[in-house]
Structure formats: structure tokens, C-alpha cells
Amino acid sequence: MITPWDVSDNVDYKKTMENFGIKPIKDLLKDIENPHYLMRRGIIFGHRDFERIIKSMKENKKFTVLSGMMPSGKMHFGHKMIVDQLLYYQNYNTEIYIPIADLEAYWARGMDFETTKKLAVEEYITNYIALGLNPNKINVYLQSKNEIVKDLAMKLSKRVNFSEMRAIYGFSGETNMGHMLAPIVQVADILHPQLKEKTPVVVPVGIDQDPHLRLTRDIANRAKEFKFIPPSSTYHRFMTGLLGGKMSSSKPETAIFLSDKPSKSLRKKVMSCKTGGRETLEEQKKLGGIPEECVVYELYVYHLIDDDKELKEIYDKCKSGELTCGQCKKSCYEKITAFLNDLSEKRACAKEIAEEIIK
């Protein structure tokens, strides 16, 4: 079972797609005029009903993008993938909603509302804007303060029972009632923009969030009085942590944070990354590396290299043994340093805007 609060380090994406009816997005790439680079590179790998969004994109018709956050720690490169997708969608005829899941954080993680809001402002929304998200194109709100969402959640809660919630999320008799209500609030987050205007909605998520999408689509079909359009969704792969496994805010040694400063400790992190290199330099030159197993190469694919040709050159040089891990790590650190220095300059101004957005 994969849930938003419990997911394995080694997700079998193919099996998960087969089990839950997620379709491969590669089959749609030919229909997208300018596919996101994460789609081209197979990082965004699956979808539900994304054809509906492609149609809106082609016809310049309005659609909604919704991407929630539960800020439980500092924002790292793994979180940046969502922002990169929002930056792509903001170039279309879209409204972007960003709910801050402070109710879920309170019920499921025991976090107080003040801490959640502080993290949302200082880490997430500040970085979202610094990375290029247009503050005039986003609707940011705290779940606990949005009366429309809470009211809709109450109305929709009658459309699902405990047996179904237990089957989807693994809830037990020990689960607190607030935690059980959190997914219903998420459903209301996703559907409430349609109370204003019936436009298609897409939710870009990691595979761990798919239970929310399945529940939302089921409830949207059941609540016929609202005439909701069931949400579309896309699914991206998790980013590998620097030492393998998942990148996690709670394990600083696994992550590069967007608020990090270039330093000896950051350089040490990068130089200690898990790679696909051989045990000796001689073997590396003879057999070549394995970029598919390399965290440094993954950083290039996900974040640090825009040009597909440049990426292919690095891949080929690694496979041939021409490029050593030491050279590659040094280049990676230089790219990270340039990125963080640029982002740091933009964060100060972005923080002021973030504080205005969330009052």
C-alpha cells in the first residue's frame, strides 16, 4: 500500500501503474506542442485524463492547476520539481491554486498552525516566487482559513464511508478522526475551484499522492449535484537522496536545500554523493560508469542541465569511461553553487511578497 504518509524508498512504478490504472504519459507526447522537459526525460511518467488538459492547452481554453503542500521541513531539490511544473503551466491560460495543508499537518503530523504557516511563508512560497512563479497568477491559502473549502469538505464527507477510507489509506481504529478527515479536505481543495467556474483541473503529484486523486475522482462522480469534472493528474518519480533512498527534509545528509549556501559542508555533500562509478579508476576507464544509478547524473537530469544534447554528451562520456566521477562531481558542485547564489539573491524580495500573500 502506498499512502501520502508512508511510501517505500524503492517504488515499483510499473507495478503501481498497472495496479491503479495510471497510463504512461509517453504515449501523449506527440500530441503536446511543447512537452515539459520532465515529460521528455521520463521523470513525469504517468497520468490520468491528461488528454483533457492537452485539449485546453491547444485551444487556449482555461484550465486550473492545483498543487498543495504540507510544509513539514525545509524545501529541497526534490520539492523543486513541483515548482518547475507550475512554471510550465503558468505560460498557459491557467489559474494556479496552492493550498497549504496546515489542517493535515496538525492532524497527521502533530504540527502547530504557527509553525506550518512560518515554514510555508519562509521556505515554500518564498522559494516558489524566487524560482519564477508569478505571484499574480497564484491563489495561495491556508486550509484552516478557507471557509469555502471546509464547508465543501463537510458536504462531500457523506459521499464516502470508513470501509472505503480504510481500504485506500490503511486507517485503523487507532487513527485519529482528524487524520481521517484530512483526505476529505484534500478532495475539497481539488474540487472547490469548480464552484466558481467549471474548468478542467490538473494536479501534478508524486505517486504517493495518488490515493487522494482516486478518492477525489470517485467523489466527484458521486456528488452529481455539483456537476464536477473529475480531476486530471500527472505523476513524477521521486528524487533519489544524495546517499541513495529518498531525499528527505528530516535527513539533511540526503538533501540539498534551496536555502543552502555554497560551503565546505555542501561541497562535501556533493563529493560524497552515491554514483554509478566503478570501484577503481582503471575499471571506470575500461568498463565505463552507470549513469542510471548515479545521483549526480540525476541532479543534472532533474534540475541542473536544460540542454538535452549536453545531457546526452555527459551520459555518453560516463558510459564510455571518458568522464570520471571526481570530474563530474566537481562540475555538479559548480552548477549547484551558481544556482543557489542566483536563487539567494531573489529570495529576499520574494519573501516580502510571500508574507503579503499569506496573512
pLDDT tens digits for range 111-139: 999 999 999 999 999 999 999 999 998 99
Classify each residue of 184-207 as buried b or exposed e, where b means 16 or more C-beta atoms within 10 Å of its C-beta.
bbbbbbbbbbbeeeebbbbbbbbb
Is residue 358 very low, low, confident or very high in pLDDT (cuts 50, 70, 90)? confident
Q: Which three cell numbers stand for residue 117?
A: 504557516
Nearest-angstrom CA–CA distance, 175 and 155: 22
Output the average pLDDT for the chain.
93
**Is the model's pLDDT at 141 over the cut of 70?**
yes
* All three cell numbers of 345: 539573491
Q: Cα(334)–Cα(313) distance, rounded to whole angstroms? A: 18
The string of pLDDT tens digits covering residues 205-255 is 998 899 999 999 999 999 999 999 999 999 999 999 999 888 888 889 999
pTM over 0.85: yes
Which one-letter DSSP state was computed for residue 246? B
| pLDDT tens column, 247-295 | 888 889 999 999 999 999 999 999 999 998 887 788 888 888 899 999 9
